[in-house]
Amino acid sequence: MIKTIKGDLVKISDETSLFDVYIHGANCQSVMGAGVAAQIARRFPMVYKVDKESKLTPRQKLGKYTSCNFKNSVKHRIHFVNAYTQFTVGMGVQVDYMAIKDSFEAIRTTFGGCKLRFAMPMIGAGLGGGDWTKIKGIAEEVFKHEDMTVIEYDQKL
């Protein structure tokens, strides 16, 4: 079962040791100009850099991921994962549910089973225009044996 807390994923990832792996939804065009992706790119430029430097073409990225690891401001080593859950940006539903499942499965294959603590925002349900109930169901199935927490954005915390 996935837990849900309220907070600011970017602030939590930088200023605490609560989680080890942070996953966010990314588009395949290497654009991190809005939403949580923009906040991540500003606070952790290396996360954006690993996306920009990917050898995969935009079409090849869909359903896959890139990642980097580093120590945050409290010296806790974290992994930040760009899950390629939508091909492009724009209005309306951009999120691709199969890409969500495929990227989550690839992430679980790499990071799962290691007693790591995972966190993610409500991937695909904001600017991606997706149905959070459907996306959460995918996450619950894929990460059912992992310690996963969804951080529902609350700027007051």
**Residue 113: predicted pLDDT:** 96
152 φ, ψ (degrees, to nearest 5): -80, 120
**Residue 18: predicted pLDDT:** 98
Specify the pTM: 0.95
Sequence spans of domains, the chain = 3-153
**Residue 70: predicted pLDDT:** 98
Torsion angle, alpha carbons of 104, 140, 41, 87, to 10: 50
CA distance 153 to 127: 13
Mean pLDDT in order along the chain per 10 residues (157 residues): 95 98 97 92 98 97 98 98 92 88 99 98 87 97 98 83
CA distance 133 to 1: 14
Q: Are 127 and 99 in contact (CB under 8 A)?
A: no
Provide the CATH topology of domain 3-153.
Answer: Leucine Aminopeptidase, subunit E; domain 1 (3.40.220)
**Residue 157: predicted pLDDT:** 62
